[in-house]
Structure 1
Amino acid sequence: MAKKHLFIINPKSFPKKRKLQQVIAAIDAYFTGRKAGNLPREDFFIHIEEFPRDSIIVIRKYMQNLEKETALRVYSIGGDGTSFCCLNGIMGLPNTDLAIMPHGTGNDFVRNFGEEHIAEFRDITLQTGAKGIPTDIIHCGDNYALSYCTIGMESAVIIGIQPWNKQFEKIRRRFNWINSAFIILGAIQVAFNKAVINQYYTINADGEDLSGSYALLNIANGPCYGIDKNAVITAVPDDGFLDMLLLKSISPLRILLMMGPYLKGEFAKYPKYFIWRRIKKVSINSESPLFVNMDGEAFFDSELTCEVVPGAVNIAAPNGLSYQRRAAPHE
């Protein structure tokens, strides 16, 4: 089967143009080297994103022009937002898989293979030869996500700090501590917003009624998110399930105190405040707008249904890597 390679690059992930040029040069050098070494020809195309989600259109059009029985590997070169767009671009396409080359502020999904392996995902030689492993995804409405879908406080924080992120975009991409500082300040602000932390949700999870007032809901396909956090530590991207964690509505100060244990995956120590379920499908609605965040893409909605799609996409895993299990369900 003929093989093609489509590279989607988010230029905003490279504050220094020199670094972007190095990445492009490495791609070109690899395929030039294949030709010089008399290896089978494999065509490639590089697309540099011009506006949000334009990669979805590019991927679809590129696939339409390929001959039948052609395998396509799409490379996401950027952060989680770029991977989100590439995933939504390839869904439903035949003979297509996804390689993630992390160069963004947050590179959450590849951390599921272990933080010590991130450099391997940036290696063009390893990525082009890597075998794709079946991976679950989250289907929510018209969108698909690799890592998580959060509703409530966390999503409200992400939406609230968007103006700061835009204003200080260049500097925050160079210094991760600035992103963390923004999130902390945003969390303090939202924790005292009663409309958010006391919002009532009608929830049906695999037939179980979990309706009630919650500060936040986290529906996870993997444990890693938020640059270096591991909140739903029991989640694994290839087990055919989603792990859902709910934080009950409690006082603002108690919420802030629970953020530390929550972000470290220590929710099992506080059963009074947290509800954990392993699910296939959950439907959520509320009389007030839902603050939603899917893999870093934030938006509002009135109701949402999240469902796992087992083994829906093949993710390139360099050097035969596999997803790490960080905790058993009972831990």
Structure 2
Amino acid sequence: MRYLFILNPAAGKQDSSGPLIPALEAALARAGIPPEQYSIQRTAFAGHARGLVQAAAQRAAQEGEELWVYTAGGDGTLNEALTGAYPFSNTAVGCLPYGSGNDFLRSFGTREEFLDLDAQLAGGVSRIDLMETSLGLSATICAAGLDAQVAYGIPKYRRLPFCGGEMAYLLSILEQICGHIGRRVRFEIDGGQLEEDCLMCAVCNGRAYGGGFMAAPEAALDDGWLDVFIIRTVGRMTIAKMLGMYKKGRHFIQGHLTEAAEPYFLYRRARRVTLSPVDGRGPIIATADGECAPLDTLEISLQPLAARILLPGPVHDRFEAQKTAPTKS
């Protein structure tokens, strides 16, 4: 057995990698794992985690060993590790939540459970579905429209003097709300077609994104389905009310849209979804696990049980006990 810990110094509001290293070494010693069995590395640039995992997984495969990878960062770092591990059946990936969002773990438990290093090392491997998207692999949610436009606009405001993360976020929201709201989008959902004036759309494998927006409060990561939520274009005065409902997951209960959500939302379950803007206003902005890009067409397909993930002991036991049957429809 080999262990690889990937620490992202740029994740979160401050670099936590310094104090984390001695804490990891102490937990590894308590677990009886000697130094020759593990490696702790910091990332230095975007894509570094993916390369580190690919190289380590290939070496472990050649030596016939299992590799457990833990990322200390956010959902973007975790996504890189999952992408690097994807071709290797000997590799499983876990997360230590030191990023600003950490939406992946919201489908399983609490941040405190995932910060328990002893429970992490005593955990186990579970299989979950992945999404293959036009932006790459994703374990959580791929979205397009207003929310993606806000995320796409944040970097330009961060370049302004005295404009930190929260201020950049607020300015990007203000820009989008003051601009043209909504797109005419053609959806292909498992072969069927529909067109909608769409404020935004979330295709969900996991439950949350955007730092805690519970887009799909009942999504299961291993059920063989994507939960698709299409939010119709609404007036500016209605956006705040609708987003408040959406953030707290109050739009969807016991497998159905709530009465309050019905005027604003469409819901479908699917295995393949394609979005194409048809209003002649150019590409649509899409986002998945921190990656944002303008696309003429966004394609998303489910890859059943394609990822091996590491969960802390109690979380793993709970997840395995409540597995959803893959034939659920």
TM-score bin (small chain): 0.7 to 0.9
- 1:201-240 Cα shifts (integer Å, max 9, x gaps): 2210012212222110111112222223212223221211
TM-score by length of 2: 0.85
| 1:106 alignment partner, one of 101, 118, 122 | 101
Task: Identify, as 1 or 2, the structure richer in helix.
Answer: 1
Partner of 2:242: 258
Q: Name the % identity.
A: 26
- 1:101-155 Cα shifts (integer Å, max 9, x gaps): 101111111122233xx22212322212211111111110361111100101100
Structure 1, unmatched stretches of 5+, are 173-177, 326-331
Partner of 1:303: 297
2:84 match: secondary structure: helix
Q: Distance in 2 between matches of 1:85 and 1:121?
A: 19
Deviation of 1:189 after TM superposition, in Å, equals 2.7
1:233 match: secondary structure: coil
- 1:56-78 Cα shifts (integer Å, max 9, x gaps): 11211222223342111111101
Partner of 1:30: 27
Of stretches 250-259 and 43-52 in structure 1, the one that deviates more from structure 2 is: 250-259
* Residue correspondence of structure 1 range 194-273 to structure 2 within 5 A: 194=180, 197-267=181-251, 268=257, 269-273=260-264
Partner of 1:192: 178
Partner of 1:175: none
Structure 2 counterpart of 1:208, which letter? G
| 1:47 alignment partner, one of 20, 41, 65 | 41
- 1:26-47 Cα shifts (integer Å, max 9, x gaps): 222334455xx5x688611122
1:29 match: secondary structure: helix
Structure 2, unmatched stretches of 5+, are 252-256, 323-329
Q: Distance in 2 between matches of 1:13 and 1:198?
A: 32
Partner of 1:133: 126
The answer to whether structure 1 residue 21 and structure 2 residue 13 are counterparts is: no
Q: Measured at CA, do residues 129 and 33 of structure 1 come closer, stay the same or move farther in structure 2, by a change above 3 Å?
A: closer
The alignment yields a C-alpha RMSD, in angstroms, of 2.6
2:199 match: secondary structure: strand
Partner of 2:3: 5
Q: Distance in 2 between matches of 1:168 and 1:24?
A: 33
Does the CA contact (< 8 Å) of 2:50 and 2:83 recur in 1?
yes
Q: Distance in 2 between matches of 1:160 and 1:244?
A: 24
Does the CA contact (< 8 Å) of 1:80 and 1:295 recur in 2?
yes
| 2:152 alignment partner, one of 142, 159, 175 | 159
1:93 match: secondary structure: coil
Deviation of 1:4 after TM superposition, in Å, equals 0.7
Deviation of 1:169 after TM superposition, in Å, equals 10
Deviation of 1:188 after TM superposition, in Å, equals 3.7
Q: Distance in 2 between matches of 1:168 and 1:217?
A: 33
Q: Distance in 2 between matches of 1:97 and 1:164?
A: 37
Q: Give the number of aligned pairs.
A: 308
- 1:82-112 Cα shifts (integer Å, max 9, x gaps): 1111111111112111111101111111122
Q: Distance in 2 between matches of 1:317 and 1:46?
A: 19
TM-score by length of 1: 0.84
The answer to whether structure 1 residue 73 and structure 2 residue 57 are counterparts is: no
Does the CA contact (< 8 Å) of 2:285 and 2:292 recur in 1?
yes
